Amino acid sequence: MDDSFEYEFRMIGLKIAYYRKAHNPPYTQEQLAEIVGTSTSNIGTIESRMYKPISLKMLFKIAKALDVSPKDLLDF
């Protein structure tokens, strides 16, 4: 597995978790998963400290669901 961007994917996951919890009202992982059309376990894996690459399409869907700019999820 090419892990040349492992740090960046982990930071994106942490940002998603942050904005999910900061959303008003806060979303559970299950709620966010339903909104973006994925599984709860996929959201959990993306947010965890595990190395989980995500597509740009998924990044855009998550950003829209959280009412943030995709840039906000990439700004670390």
Enter the CATH code of domain 6-74.
1.10.260.40
Per-residue pLDDT of 9-68, as tens digits, reads: 999 999 999 999 999 999 999 999 999 999 999 999 999 977 778 899 999 999 999 999
Domain boundaries, the chain: 6-74
Closest CA to 19 of 70, 66, 76: 66
Residue tagged 């900061």 (tokens): 22
Q: Which pLDDT band, with edges at 50, 70 and 90, does 1 fall under?
A: low
